[in-house]
A and B are shown apart, each in its own frame.
Chain A
């Protein structure tokens, strides 16, 4: 089955700096890669996703890149703000079988003033 590894487990950046979280996946059949943000005590919320036919996607201050050959995908947050502080999860899925998302282990991002 699919295995998703996520690094780092914790990340501290100063306000205004950029943050990068990286994930690798094992199943070459995976073709959908979402990123979720989870604030303390809340449900995971989808913030951005990318499909395997696209190499990069951007939405304001967040972007995701995908390298299918290396089976890597990354989340980039620019101009970080205190409200970006949360736990971020990457995930992977094969939309053909579509039975689950396989999640990474999460990254706790802290944005300091």
Chain B
């Protein structure tokens, strides 16, 4: 079954404690991306990757890091989380050709930073 798997599903942490949200896809997709969803703001792109070892900033990259060492994985790293990073996070993947038209979303990670 084609899927994008995010872990964990829920996470509560404290300010400053480094955390990683994992994202893995089994569709051999070149494109992967992270979005955050906040009430009244829709989904906003954090980072994206067009292929292995290629990453670039989205609209709201401050306070986040990513890496793309393998094609299937695209972890989101918060080195020093702050309360304003409390949000619902979605990972998405898509094929090289027209990725936006075949975007697969993960199930989401609800993060609370206290």
Contact = CB atoms under 8 A, between A and B. Distances in A.
A100 B103 CA distance: 10
Given A44-B90, A100-B58, A89 B101 contact: no
> Which size class do B's interface residues fall under?
20 to 34
Given A103-B42, A103-B43, A98 B105 contact: no
Given A99-B48, A100-B45, A93 B100 contact: yes
Nearest to B90: A43
A32 B100 contact: yes
A46 interface: yes
B100 A106 contact: no
Contacts of A103: 35, 42-44
A94 B62 CA distance: 24
Interface magnitude class on chain A? 20 to 34
A89 B43 contact: yes
B98 A95 contact: yes
Most buried by B among A95, A99, A103: A99
Interface of B: 31, 33, 35, 40-45, 48, 50, 56, 58-59, 90, 98-101, 103, 105-108
